[in-house]
Structure formats: structure tokens, C-alpha cells
Amino acid sequence: MPPYTSVVDVHVILYRDGRIALLERRNTGYCDGMLHLPSGHLEEGEALHTAAAREAEEEVGVTIDPGHLALAALVHFRQGPGHARVGAFFLATQWEGEPCNAEPHKAGRLVWADPNMLGPDVIPYPAEGVRAWLEGSGFVPYGWCA
């Protein structure tokens, strides 16, 4: 029997002046209208931190040296029966450029939000990663029964 596989996601926390950058999803078919961190899927042959830097550039137009990404949290998200995701959340310690909506066909507004006061318009999966980062817990199983 082949080994079980999960989707691997990368998420980037751009933090400045006490706020994090979030994008409003649009035209994606998943939680459109809600807010999410800059993120995406790991591609074949990519290291996690390299994928995170690539996604940040694609989604919010900033350049991040992968060496300036610190692993902030890991979330194992059970999206439904037989479908799980592993999300690596990286804190960008520095970047070049001003964050903007670099993919207007996939996203609406870019907002800066207080990570301690995320509202119901933030998708719960990335919100769990942000909470794990803030609390320093490192790992969160989300959506799994005890």
C-alpha cells in the first residue's frame, strides 16, 4: 500500500508595526471573500522556505531571501475525511518592496491586521497558524478529534 500523502502549504507572516498582511480571497473557489496570509502550495523539488519566498513574491510583490524566513509554526489541518494539509508558517524577518495585491485576479484588498485580534473574516486554518506563532507553541493539530 502506498504511503499516505498530504498537501503541503506554505504561509508567510509579514509583520510590521504590530500588524500582519492579509489578502482577501477572490475567484479561487475556496473561502472567497475571507482573509488569508500570503500562501500557496509546495511545488516538486522546492524547499519549504524557498516556496514561501516564491509565494510572497507572487501574491504580495515582495522579495524575500529564503534565509530571512524563520519557521513560526506548523499546522496539521484535517480539512475533511481523507484530506489533510500540512501548513508551514514562516515569519519574514526582512523583505524588499512594499506589500501589495500582486494577483488581482485571485485577491481583493490587502489589509494590515492586528494578529491578536483576528476577526471572523479570517480563514480559521491560517488563523490557527498565527495563534501558534503568537503563543510560541510551534505545532497545532487543527480539525482532528482528540
Question: Given phi > 0 = left and psi -120 to 50 = alpha, else beta, which region is 47?
Answer: beta
pLDDT at position 146 is 58
Average pLDDT for residues 3-15, to the nearest whole number? 93
Instruction: Please report the domains of the chain, with CATH numbers, ordered by start residue.
Output: 7-142 (3.90.79.10)
Question: pLDDT of 15-26, one tens digit each?
Answer: 999 999 999 999
pLDDT of residue 116 exceeding 90, the answer is yes
pTM greater than the 0.85 cutoff: yes
Strand, coil or helix: what is 108? strand
For residue 14 the three cell numbers come to 509579514
For 128-141, write each residue's pLDDT tens digit: 999 999 999 999 99
